[in-house]
Chain A
Amino acid sequence: MIDVLSSLLILAGLFFYLAGSIGLLRLPDLYSRLHALTKADNLGLGLLIAGLALQAQDLLIAFKLLLIWLAILAASATNAHLIARQARRLESGS
């Protein structure tokens, strides 16, 4: 039961990664690419980590996985913001 659930979560996570990667390759400009990449990958990573946490041997490992997700959420959101802001500055500056 747990195996099925965690496989489903991991597969769902992989789907979002795929969607984010396709978005990165196919979308027309930097802002929409950033949007696709950070949003889809953050959700994908969350699902992946939820799936892996179900397989963890104890609660401590599950907690560590959760911390990894939270750290990446904060870092990638900030990075997306910084990249977009810099791009906007370059656009309006030139």
Chain B
Amino acid sequence: MNALMLLVFDGLLLLGIVSLAWASLASSDDRNSVILFMAFGLVLAVAWGRLMAADVALAEAAIGAGLSGALLLAAVRKRPAQMAAGRANNSHNPDRTGVNMLLQWSVTLLCAALAGTLAWALLDAFSSTPHETLPQAISANLEASGVSNPVTAVLLNFRAYDTLLELAVLLTAVLGILAMGRATAVYQPAGPIFDGLVRWLVPVLILTAGYLLWVGAHAPGGAFQAGATLAAAGVVLHLAGHPRIGLPAGFALRILMAAGVAVFLAVGLSLLVMGRPFLGYPPAWAGALILIIESAAMLAIAATLVLAFVGAFPRSTATRAASRQVREEEAR
């Protein structure tokens, strides 16, 4: 009975994921697409939870559904009007331009190739004889990693290189956004009801981020989830019309953005100087080094994600009044 119920639940979950993905792709309205994509992310997070992958479920809910959704909604809102009109014309016009067709087909082909590769990898994983698999290798070496959560051990120790490069990719992406982005309108200050929510929600989010960072050493959590939670606090502050979004000004903000990559590199290089491999922590210090790197990474991830959402450096209150004047003149 119980097994049957779980089977039905899993089936409904799968059906929900696939139909939400389809609905999100098929929707002709961009805003609806994004909202369906966020719902897709949440159901996907439940699926990760069912697979006992709490780390991935947390990351999917916080980054995949929450922050990516907010970023996409902001992108839809900021997009110039003629682009929206262009797309609307295209989707109702049966003869599309050749470039569009080419783009669509190459995306389809690439997705099919990716799906094929994944299916092949899955088959390979199921058919291969159970020699030493990755989970066994990790649990055999977990003692030396400095943490007891295997996911954190992989991300920050065994495969720390990958995480360093991920942080670099994030930094590069936000540099691109800041270089291209136009300054966004500052939202009007929140009314009393929204302000009431912000007043307790932001402290709770900051506290949760700190908890996720700390707990990452021995249970699901870690820098990415904590950073996304902290970034959510920034997004809420931005929506409530706080011009500085709790971020420092000028040079300090630049240091904060680069902190993750910088601390990671500093740790790796000092280990090299001491005659150890790059990012090969001595087991005795591994726990402390991982916590230092993760703290810096959390702050950098949070600052980067918030800046990506806002699309520009936050303005100080002095320039805010001036830019409002500019906007009003443009509007006339």
Which residues in B have their C-beta under 8 angstroms from that of A75? 197, 201
Task: Tell me the complex Cα distance, A17–B221, Å.
Answer: 31
Task: Tell me the complex Cα distance, A74–B191, Å.
Answer: 15
Task: Tell me the complex Cα distance, A75–B193, Å.
Answer: 10
CB-CB nearest in chain A for B193: A81
Task: Tell me the complex Cα distance, A85–B188, Å.
Answer: 14
A30 at the interface (CB under 8 A from B): no
Number of A residues contacting the other chain (C-beta, 8 Å)? 7
B211 at the interface (CB under 8 A from A): no
A8 at the interface (CB under 8 A from B): no
Which residues in B have their C-beta under 8 angstroms from that of A27? none
A4 to chain B, nearest CB (A): 17
Task: Tell me the complex Cα distance, A82–B201, Å.
Answer: 16
B194 at the interface (CB under 8 A from A): yes
Task: Tell me the complex Cα distance, A81–B201, Å.
Answer: 16
Task: Tell me the complex Cα distance, A26–B197, Å.
Answer: 30
Which residues in A have their C-beta under 8 angstroms from that of B191? 85
Task: Tell me the complex Cα distance, A81–B196, Å.
Answer: 12
Give B191-225 interface residues, CB cut-off 8 Å to A: 191, 193-194, 196-197, 200-201, 204
Which residues in B have their C-beta under 8 angstroms from that of A32? none
Among B193, B200, B201, residue most surrounded by chain A Cβ atoms (within 10 Å) = B193
Which residues in A have their C-beta under 8 angstroms from that of B197? 74-75, 78
Which residues in B have their C-beta under 8 angstroms from that of A78? 193-194, 196-197
A57 to chain B, nearest CB (A): 17
Which residues in A have their C-beta under 8 angstroms from that of B193? 78, 81-82
Give A39-88 interface residues, CB cut-off 8 Å to B: 71, 74-75, 78, 81-82, 85
Task: Tell me the complex Cα distance, A65–B246, Å.
Answer: 30
Task: Tell me the complex Cα distance, A78–B89, Å.
Answer: 37
Among A74, A75, A78, A81, residue most surrounded by chain B Cβ atoms (within 10 Å) = A78
Which residues in A have their C-beta under 8 angstroms from that of B204? 71
Task: Tell me the complex Cα distance, A74–B196, Å.
Answer: 9
Task: Tell me the complex Cα distance, A78–B197, Å.
Answer: 7
**15 A-B contacts, Cβ less than 8 Å apart?**
A71-B204, A74-B197, A74-B200, A74-B201, A75-B197, A75-B201, A78-B193, A78-B194, A78-B196, A78-B197, A81-B193, A81-B194, A82-B193, A82-B194, A85-B191
> 8 new A-B pairs (CB below 8 Å) besides A74-B201, A78-B194, A78-B197?
A71-B204, A74-B197, A74-B200, A75-B201, A78-B193, A78-B196, A82-B193, A82-B194
Which residues of B pack against A, CB within 8 Å?
191, 193-194, 196-197, 200-201, 204
Which residues of A pack against B, CB within 8 Å?
71, 74-75, 78, 81-82, 85
